[in-house]
Amino acid sequence: MRARRGVTAVAIATTLAFTVAGCGGEAGKQGDTGSSAESPRPPDAGKGDDGGSEVPEPSRTLAVVKGSDELVLTLTSAQRDSGGFVTVNGQVKNTGSESFYGVSAWRGNEQEIVRNSGRSVGGATLVDNKGKKRYYVLRDTEGRCLCTTGVSKVEAGRSVAVFMQFPAPPEKTTGVDFQLPGFPSTPIELTS
């Protein structure tokens, strides 16, 4: 009986030692973000950072739109996802000399978005001119937009990464017009 208890105690101690050793792992290594490369959202794009950061210059550009107050919206991708969505990614850069605080206009005026998403880019739309249909930013089951939230300002000389998810237009639709409040509408191409 004592021998059996001793073997059990050794097995438990060994298991705990391996578990503790496994927890240390490589999570602290530089560059490990803990996010999957297949995620439809860009890293840290779901939540804003209150003013902007050093967002790298985009390697690919779909459209560049100049808005009010020396803001420049650069759209970098508009990709169809396998689940029937279109994810639009980009950045808003403040090229002016003063911080921009008018970001509340970006959320649009739909009460559900305003109430549940706070500061967001939930007012963005896609327009299929040929199909005569407008697409609004998707919402989760609690009414929050599937888009960048939490941006309260864009500091002078800084950029804020943004993303928005929309229902996908029909497969035959390859081009749509994108519009974010405060910026003129611009045509973009959808990719698969």
Domain ranges in the chain? 63-189
Residue type, 119: R
Length of the chain: 192
Lowest mean pLDDT among 17-31, 46-60, 167-181: 17-31
pLDDT above 70 (res 5): no
pTM of the model: 0.69
CATH number of 63-189: 2.60.40.10
Q: How far apart are alpha carbons 78 and 62 in whole angstroms?
A: 8
Mean pLDDT of 149-157: 92
Question: Span 63-82, mean pLDDT?
Answer: 94
Q: Residue 177 is which amino acid?
A: D
Q: Which residue has the higher pLDDT, 126 or 144?
A: 126
- Name the nearest CA neighbour of 47 among 124, 118, 143: 118
What is the residue-averaged pLDDT of the chain? 77
Where are any strands of DSSP class E within the chain? 63-66, 71-80, 85-94, 125-128, 133-136, 159-167, 175-179, 186-189
- Residue 148's closest CA among 178, 182, 188, 118? 118
